[in-house]
Amino acid sequence: MTHVKKIQQALGDLPALVMTDAVSIRYACGFHIDDGAAVVARDRAWVITDSRYVEAASAAIRDMEVLCTDRDHSLGRMLGELFAQNGFAGAGALPDRLSHAQWGWLEEAVGVPLVSAGDLLKDLRARKDQEEVDSIVAAQRIAEKALDEVLGLIRPGVTEKEIAAELVYRMYKYGGEGNSFDPIVVTGAKSSMPHGVPGDNVIRDGDFVTMDFGTLYNGYCSDMTRTVAVGHVTDEMRRVYDTVLAAQLAGIEAARPGVPGRDVHNAAAKVIADAGYGQYFGHGFGHSLGLEIHEDPGARPANDRPLPEGAVISAEPGIYLPGRFGVRIEDMLWLHDGGAENLTKAPKELTIL
């Protein structure tokens, strides 16, 4: 999918926008290129790639002219020639996607002054269109199918690494393009670590097992977390689980376009605090996601800006009791038509395997 027309409409006074990072290029042209550039002007657009990608790129990309580097025409030289041929007196670049050294190289390559395009692309990417959401949903359905099968493998004696490997294998098997991020699978006392790394820890009777994972489809990420119990739970484990679920539902109820991100977070955090676990919820309610697993804006305490129409955000409160156990439940929400559509269909009531 291309977003050239959206970028062109957002250029304002900029004669062109030049992008060199893989994520921005993909957003513009709908094709993954590791080493290249995209230039979008008011009435034309170009992608520059190399021999590794040019055939596939030419077949896949619409709305942009595909150019190919060679031994005599480096990326920098082709950018310079492109700018000279079209008489661009300047261009915008993305300050959050370029290091200081990369900015200097790019400005020298195009041969004209670069100015900051600010949050131009970030703001566009925050508002997902139907095609983008369809890709996120497709990725989520793949992840859910993998989870359905893996739940049958969770039992005492199995390791965290084995469960993580089974999730990854099945997401690939059912059409995923790769991991959205390295999967988190933690059991027992390790479930109190929000970003614990799967290890050789063995699942035991009475453990919580937390699985946070996702896959890619058309380059777009899915993200979900489910916490399940093995054998039995204590009264406190059930109370914590029910509190996290209630907090998530409260946050989902508060989430809609135009509501500040912190208000969504606070709706969930209040439930956890009222239950006496406020100090054990240390992260935000959720983050945006799309071509990257963590995007802006987020439903977090520091975000006082209204969440935009079209944003896809995670809904993932948790309670983490150090050295004992933890619970997190995560869905994905699409904020549109005045509300929040839950894109996640996997059951989330307490499951005891």
What does each of the 353 residues of the chain score in pLDDT, given as a tens digit?
Answer: 789 999 999 999 999 999 999 999 999 999 999 999 999 999 999 999 999 999 999 999 999 999 999 999 999 999 999 999 999 999 999 999 999 999 999 999 999 999 999 999 999 999 999 999 999 999 999 999 999 999 999 999 999 999 999 999 999 999 999 999 999 999 999 999 999 999 999 999 999 999 999 999 999 999 999 999 999 999 999 999 999 999 999 999 999 999 999 999 999 999 999 999 999 999 999 999 999 999 999 999 999 999 999 999 999 999 999 999 999 999 999 999 999 999 999 999 999 99
Give me the architecture of the 130-342 domain, per CATH.
Answer: Alpha-Beta Complex (3.90)
In 110-235, which ranges are E strands?
114-116, 184-187, 208-213, 216-217, 220-221, 224-229
Each domain of the chain, given as residue ranges in start order, spans 4-124, 130-342
User: pTM, whole model, 2 decimals?
Assistant: 0.96
**Placement of tokens 């094709």 in the chain:** 31
CATH superfamily of the domain spanning 4-124: Creatinase/prolidase N-terminal domain (3.40.350.10)
> Facing residues of 209 across strands?
187, 228
> Facing residues of 352 across strands?
229
